[in-house]
């Protein structure tokens, strides 16, 4: 009898074991990590002592403010599409209120090489003239220099910008821009340049500051304008064959978190006479700068060597999460 009782108890214990196991808490498998969003937005702003574009001041050697906003979409980890809008304050002969840049393109990363290409539109709202077909000048008064500028300077460029990241510190790149009517002058323009940037490693930081040195050497090729820019100032006069020129810049940057202080020297080889013919500088006054496209000899310092200090902040939406 005792053996029978023990056998029954053992059988009950074995049959109950699965029930006890089922009642025990089971640790849930971790949820799979959410895939990173393919979307991101880059944005920032800057304050500059001078807004210099391809070696020539766009702000009459005065301070300028800038800002940009650039949504990005990563098709894959190596292919990114982007569009953007940026703006800079300027000071031009035709009273344009600002330069507004609308652009879009794609970046393709192939190992250490990044290929960047797209379309850029430069929009200059607020331009005005005494006469839309003849003169455009300061305060609606003809200038002593007789400089003129079209009311609408807006134009477009297509571009290609390859970069080779040699290692974590050194990047070498280039730029190629083409416009069919540079500054809406009728003159085609092609800009080519080579760039280099050395970014210091963390071990080379200066206290809390990172730093870099960078430079660029480029050449702006320009064609002949339409009849608006005739040598005689008449609307039906011959166009001006703008002078091609070299431009360069070299600088040092200090970085801290999202901020960058860039200190840069910039210059061109344009003479003061050719600079005046190209820019329409409303403050041009120096005489004796006679060239083939500037028989009046009025000279401009807008294309000369200058020093630029720029404080900027650059962020991405992803970095704030």
pLDDT of residue 282: 86
Q: How confident is the model at residue 224 (pLDDT cuts 50, 70, 90)?
A: very high
pTM, to two decimals: 0.86
pLDDT of residue 237: 60
- 63-99: per-residue pLDDT in tens? 999 999 999 999 999 999 999 999 999 998 888 889 9
pLDDT of residue 97: 85
Q: Does residue 191 register a pLDDT over 60?
A: yes
- Using alpha carbons, list the distances in angstroms from residue 184 to 152, 228, 255: 7, 11, 37
The residue among 142, 270, 248 whose CA lies nearest residue 192 is: 248
pLDDT of residue 94: 84
- 137-151: per-residue pLDDT in tens? 545 455 666 787 888
Mean pLDDT of 113-120: 98
The residue among 70, 68, 48, 71 whose CA lies nearest residue 60 is: 48
pLDDT of residue 69: 98
72/76 Cα distance (integer angstroms): 12
Is pLDDT larger for residue 172 or for residue 127?
172
295/314 Cα distance (integer angstroms): 46
Give the residue extent of every domain in the chain. 35-320
Domain 35-320 fold is: Porin (2.40.160)
């Amino acid at each position: 009898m005792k053996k029978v009782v023990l056998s029954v108890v053992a059988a009950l214990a074995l049959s109950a074991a699965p029930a006890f196991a089922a009642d025990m808490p089971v640790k849930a498998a971790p949820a799979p990590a959410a895939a990173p969003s393919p979307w991101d937005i880059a944005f920032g702003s800057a304050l500059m002592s001078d807004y210099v574009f391809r070696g020539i001041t766009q702000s009459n050697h005065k301070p300028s403010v800038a800002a940009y906003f650039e949504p990005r979409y990563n098709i894959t980890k190596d292919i990114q599409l982007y569009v953007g809008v940026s703006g800079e304050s300027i000071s031009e002969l035709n009273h344009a209120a600002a330069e507004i840049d609308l652009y879009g393109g794609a970046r393709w990363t192939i190992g250490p090489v990044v290929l960047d290409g797209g379309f850029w539109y430069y929009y200059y709202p607020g331009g005005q003239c005494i006469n839309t077909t003849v003169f455009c000048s300061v305060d609606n008064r003809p200038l002593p220099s007789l400089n003129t500028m079209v009311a609408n300077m807006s134009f477009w460029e297509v571009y290609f910008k390859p970069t080779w990241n040699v290692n974590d510190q050194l990047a070498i790149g280039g730029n190629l821009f083409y416009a069919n009517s540079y500054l809406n002058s009728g003159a085609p323009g092609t800009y080519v340049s080579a760039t280099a940037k050395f970014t210091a490693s963390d071990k080379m930081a200066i206290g809390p500051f990172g730093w870099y040195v960078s430079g660029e050497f480029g050449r702006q090729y320009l064609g002949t304008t339409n009849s608006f820019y005739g040598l005689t100032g008449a609307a039906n006069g011959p166009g001006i064959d703008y002078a091609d020129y070299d431009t360069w810049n070299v600088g040092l940057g200090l970085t801290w978190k999202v901020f960058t202080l860039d200190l840069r020297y910039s210059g061109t080889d344009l003479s003061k006479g050719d600079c005046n013919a190209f820019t329409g500088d409303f403050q041009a006054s120096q005489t004796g700068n006679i060239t083939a496209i500037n028989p009046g000899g009025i000279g401009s310092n807008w294309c000369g060597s200058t020093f630029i200090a720029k404080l900027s902040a650059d962020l991405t939406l992803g970095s704030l999460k």
